[in-house]
Homo-oligomer: A and B are copies of this chain.
Amino acid sequence: MKVALVGFGTVGRSVYKMLQQAEGITPGLVLVLPEFYSAPFQTTDYNDILNDPETEAVVECITDAEEGYKYAKAALLAGKHFVSSSKAMVALHAPELNRLAREKGVAFLFGAACGGSMPILHALSQSRQMDKILSVSGVLNGTTNYMLDAMQRKGCSYEDALKVAQQLGYAEKDPTADVSGRDSLRKIMLACAVSYGILPVEGLNREGIESLTAEDVNHFAPKGLVCRLIAQGGKNEDGSVYACVEPVLFPKNAPECAVLDNNNLAKSQCLYNGSLVLMGQGAGGDPTASNVMRDLILIKNGLKNFLPESCEEGKANNEGGRHRYYVRLNAQDIDLFPAAETEMDGDICRIITSPMAVSRAHDAAKAIRSAGRKVFFAALAE
């Protein structure tokens, strides 16, 4: 199978390297921008790829979601399999591209868009066809996990942890997409789409790690609790889907606590299969390229899609999930949360709530912040 590439950055170069030694797969042309053109295996004209009858599949590894979408659509219309590593693009256009790929009888896979090197979407897609997926959750962002781990194990401040993550190349100069949980949210949206045929685009709740301080860590760490930024999705009893990102505190021997540095973890809970946990590299050229290659190997074997035949955009319902929260806030805001245990430290209050809906906790924090005051909250793992 001859495979063309769109993009020749960190991931694209790794994919090209792996294509050269994969079993039964060979590299075709690589599309680059004119200013980067440097080698005969490259082209600046996408039509060279679309019009090559031997090219059976196109891999896209660029960051611009709208550009990526154009390449995807054109490749599928030309009857070529399409593999994307871009979570932003797939989170915006998955239902349409799924329909188009199925119409054309070609594959549309995007394993590297969720979980870096880990075959999460592959596993979920299989589970959906034979089991009942109750929930999916995980540490889906390596940057924030590096920071949380450094704050917890090395006692770093938030600012120092971010600085080191930037020095190591784990965090962007503008780290917002990571620390705000937006990157994690896109990944869990894709996991929901594969698991349930619903891509939740409304009603989502997202809390990042920006409010966590070294004092918070000093307070919960001695209680044996470890903080991780968790993306989670699942099915409510009424059949609706929930999806959110928030910090969660885990007891020390939970698998999540064994996720160190910039590693990732994904956990699925199924009716028959029980719990399946995957741990691995969530980012980086070679690990991400590995999941692209996995998609290509599966296409070679006959796989065409992760998404079910019917996959549409939908609304998340985060009012069903009820768990307890650890909250640090000013005493004057305490009535916004149903406190079950309260600890006072001057004007600062640390509470454990009674079980409450995800949406209610996030709304309460939003109300406090819009009044110009501070709050940190994290769910307590059961």
- Copy number of this protein in the oligomer? 2
Distance from A253 Cβ to chain B, minimum over Cβ atoms (Å): 6
Do A279 and B280 touch (CB < 8 A)?
no
Residues of B within 8 Å of A298, CB to CB, are 126, 301
Task: Return the contact of A278 from the options B17, B278, B281, B293 (Cβ within 8 A).
Answer: B278
CA distance A128 to B22 in the complex (A): 9
CA–CA, A294 to B287, complex, Å? Answer: 24
Segment of A115-123, A184-192, A313-321 engaged in the interface with chain B: A115-123
- The interface centre, meaning the residue of A130, A270, A289, A294 with most chain B CB atoms within 10 A of its CB, is A130
For the complex, is A275 an interface residue (Cβ under 8 Å from B)?
yes
Within the assembled complex, what's the spacing in Å between the Cα atoms of A273 and B270?
26
CB < 8 Å: which of B255, B270, B275, B302 contacts A302? B302
Partner of A286, one of B128, B274, B302: B274
At the interface, is chain A mostly helix, strand, loop or mixed? Answer: mixed
Q: Is A260's CB under 8 angstroms from B253's CB?
A: yes
Q: Which residues of B contact A24 (CB under 8 A)?
A: 129
Chain B CB within 8 A of A131 CB: yes
**A18 and B132 alpha carbons, distance in the complex (Å):** 10
A167 to B303, CA, bound (A): 44
Contact of A293 among B119, B131, B287 (CB under 8 A): B131
Residues of B within 8 A of A129 (CB): 22-24, 297
A289-B302 contact, Cβ under 8 Å, with A255-B258, A258-B255, A279-B279: no
**Contact of A331 with B by CB under 8 A:** no
Residues 254 to 269 of chain A near chain B (Cβ within 8 Å): 254-255, 257-258, 260
Other than the given A17-B272, A253-B260, A275-B281, 6 more pairs (CB < 8 A) read: A23-B128, A23-B130, A130-B294, A255-B279, A270-B290, A276-B280
**10 nearest CB pairs, A to B:** A302-B302, A277-B279, A273-B290, A130-B293, A23-B129, A272-B286, A276-B280, A255-B258, A258-B258, A22-B130
